[in-house]
Amino acid sequence: MSRRPHESERSRAAIAVHMTPVPRSVVVAYRDDGPLSKAMGLLVAGQLPPLPPALAGAFVTAVLLTLGIAGADDFAVFAPAIALLLAGAGSAHRHDGRLDWLAPPILRVTEYGFIASAGFARSVPPVLVVAVLGAMAFHHYDIVYRLRQHVYPPPWLATAGLGWDGRMLVVALGGLLDVMTAVFVLLALYLWGLFGWESLTCWLAAPRTPDEAVEPAPQD
């Protein structure tokens, strides 16, 4: 009986390592922004609403993909990723507008579309394309389920996972250097290893009862 309080405190200490309250709206956590996207948001100090730049970036990216830019042999292959970076300008916003929840799914669809298009345009084996997309889908679903349980992803995870912006730029670089298959292999191994390990360790340390859950940070 005397060991239980000690074990409980130790368990909560372990939980604190993984559970990080999300400042501002939880919608921001769904975005999965990388360093570049976050930096663009800081440039405008969060004053730009997230939906217009996300829509603009997605539209331009879709047009470029329709024109076959994903299979380009020069720096034009970066154009879709750079176009979507327009959405990064809204990353620091509170995402508290009525339709701001649409920004994350727009980013997801555009990112998945670019990576799939780039892979198939370069004859990457379909199993590798599915493996990379599957790792990203697993991560994004994991975030959705965590936020429902008030189990928030640590701040470093989006950076370590490269963010949607970083992953698109890495794939574009693979196309420029004509090493797309190797890039997909490395991305699949890295992303599954990172997201799978972090998710497993997080859920093993997650609170077993609602009373132990970490509540969201208060709104500013």
| pLDDT for residue 67 is more than 80 | yes
Could you tell me if 62 and 110 are in contact, meaning their C-beta atoms sit under 8 angstroms apart?
yes
Sequence spans of domains, the chain:
25-210
* pLDDT score for 140: 93
d(CA 143, CA 204): 15
* Strand ranges in 81-212 using DSSP code E only, listed in sequence order: none
* CATH code of the region 25-210: 1.20.120.1760
> Which tens digits make up the pLDDT trace of 133-183?
999 999 999 998 888 887 778 888 889 999 999 999 999 999 999 999 999
- The confidence band for 22, taking pLDDT boundaries of 50, 70 and 90, is very low
Most confident option among 57-61, 78-82, 185-189? 185-189
| pLDDT for residue 24 is more than 60 | no
* pLDDT score for 16: 43
C-alpha pair distances (Å), 22 with each of 26, 63, 143, 147, 154:
6, 34, 12, 9, 9
d(CA 87, CA 108): 12
d(CA 71, CA 57): 19
* pLDDT score for 206: 67
Nearest to 28 by CA among 49, 52, 8: 49
d(CA 177, CA 124): 14
3-state class (DSSP) for residue 209 = coil
Nearest to 97 by CA among 42, 49, 40, 53: 49
d(CA 25, CA 88): 16
d(CA 193, CA 184): 14
* pLDDT score for 196: 93
C-alpha pair distances (Å), 111 with each of 68, 84, 106, 213:
16, 9, 9, 32
- The confidence band for 209, taking pLDDT boundaries of 50, 70 and 90, is low
Which of the pair, 15 or 88, is modelled with greater confidence?
Answer: 88
| pLDDT for residue 215 is more than 90 | no
Nearest to 58 by CA among 95, 93, 83, 24: 83
Instruction: Indicate the pTM of the whole model.
Output: 0.80
| pLDDT for residue 46 is more than 50 | yes
Mean pLDDT taken over the chain: 83
